[in-house]
Structure 1
């Protein structure tokens, strides 16, 4: 069967596809909720295809696929296959970068610059935020902070003359200190409070500027404020993924396959320890034994273990899916695994079932 015939016979189900060259080397691994539709999209002439996709398609001579019961399984299987085969066109996922941190000096110097570092900085001298997995996101956050508040000063410690960026409208006058430096410190303190989850003044300030620009029909400026607001919020997301994973949660996830059938997953941290299809009419009571069997041996508090570079992609898959609205889940407490708390665990499982009809 040639490539075009394989594409035509692909099922419209969740799964993973493996694109190969003429030597059988796996070039790319992808996943989809609907395999046939997704794979066909690669081979349709389109101006929206990235240069990477266009190059990939010219080298694809063969195709394999693996069906899964659910989209969540497709996400996890894709990750596993990328780790195993390390395809050339999945380079972004196969080579995760080290974690980085955003460090802001405490008020012990006149001008405080924002720094990117690969190691946490001394808490005596710096406010340190992270770890983050994307240097690009942190760089954009710093650049956006300087851009929208006009803090792009060429010589912030000069104090003698205005810099070139001041004449171009990029600098508020930091080069002379005084009121401009006070404004910079105020906004920097707002950024610190925002990243420490202490208040929302910075977001509100950016939002007010965005709304003001929109009222004046300055839509390009309003878009800049909106984009920066999104960048600030994305800094929270990376931290949340890591902290959630480090908590070593035990999860039960239920994903609907169709009106009558679902699939249940028991997960410890980032490991699926059990998965099984079930009929909704049968309920989840029989699942209690499986939960106890796979998790009770580790019911005591596990020692702290930092999220590794290797597992961060998988951690993000699980965390994102829990927040996608495409599944229902419960975080298990260790006490629920004890025999005397059987009723509590059953109530939690039945609650997962009842949410289907909510």
Structure 2
């Protein structure tokens, strides 16, 4: 681990201009690239005392061995140079978005003399037109099959095309009118290119003019009694309408925009984008990124837009270079001309006039200028607040949330990943035994009221929900979180020791509990003790949990704490936290266990608070004492059923008359709802 002071530059040597800087490791590899309005201020912040830095920044500066910077003329230039270097060096500490799956595109190879339509995946090639991406390959294949009736562009491979040229015999698609057969001269190459350009315009959202024209031709053919032609034009109209209606109408026909939304947790973020062209959702795409550096949501969006549209920069530059080489060679002028035309169309189609985002990015004006330069016309970035665009962005946000949940679920369910996470965690904590069972505890309350705790159990990296436990905490134990944590751990392991004693008396192995023994203990038994106890919190909570185990004489259970803000792992009696790599499977498992304990505690707290609110409401009803309250609950069985009961139904309870029943109904359902109202049936907060 390097000492940042060994390569720290003198403050006066760092310029105050805008620029881009690079941190390199001992082998000269670039590990981080960043930009700054003021290089001196930004770089100085990296060389603060280590304990003042976030874990991610601390890991980066102790891995680095040198820092370099380049001064540029403006923040706009720093944005461009930062992306170029990130693309070139792929630094390990920079944010890197990756596709959460491989998406199919409809590609029109406009860079070729005889363009071809095809469904493809993978990298894009300069000069071609791409439509999508689409979530389902079969959907775009069906769409292309329908479009070939009206736009019979070739779909064959280069080998098939050349063989048809040599033999003078077209393929089957030409015989069924789904290819205009440029290979045998049935159509000229210029007319075939015009067909491909019409197909591109149709896929760009300009479909209605073609449908109207075909409708006019159908009507004219019908009027001159050419019913065969009229029927063919009718089928063409049906095919185009079918293809056109595949994409949902969401906005006005002249709307071209991209909608980006992001869902994140402490370790990862999921991004979804909807491509809207001509008012229709033409494609969808998703990315997943691991947070290897501490960034705000606005910075995540900034890096996202850089990566999403930076690809367009690289492809346009490649197109321009190839076009210049062709021009210098003085040959294939037609191809060079078509490449320039395709480049302009690519600019307009890839980068829309408007980019809508869920959170405004850092340096939004510089990003707008950069995108405007790429597109060749003005591009704006905005956050919609109301109307159809805001509703669509909320749909994109929901897709991002679902994508993150699905990614986490798949990651947790993978056997190899689970095994790696358990092994990494065992090695990082220096534990002697494999982590067969992990228990996590969390405390939940509102300003010291209705204090509860949760215990969740993970075995082999998977939750065992049947062994979750809930604790109500009262008295002195509820005065603060540390006292509550001590109380919960002490109660849980006191119970464990009691079960061990009973097991020894019965002559069974510790941890083995039969059905008869469970009945004897009223069904409330704990399984074998955990290898590891995780508490939600920092040093105070960890110390309280360890003290409870020490007081009980338990030495074979290890305790760690996970602090939520910086995801620091705290061990008992350690002055500094253990920092696990942000991409570590072990840290991911710790986070998942902690979040599950938090969810379970919150659920129990809401249930308890809901009941206490309802009970206090009933206590205020004149004439309703403890005995009648007990009779009510015994008759209806739950607060939810009581709330749904009518006056006549309540009056049937022994000791209740119509007057008292009316007062109960009014107390539960009438009058003003309390602030922070809670649904007594579900325990969820109501708006």
- Alignment TM-score, normalising by the size of structure 2: 0.20
Higher RCO (Cα < 8 Å, 6 or more apart): 1
Give me the TM-score of the superposition, normalised by structure 1: 0.35
Greater radius of gyration (CA): 2
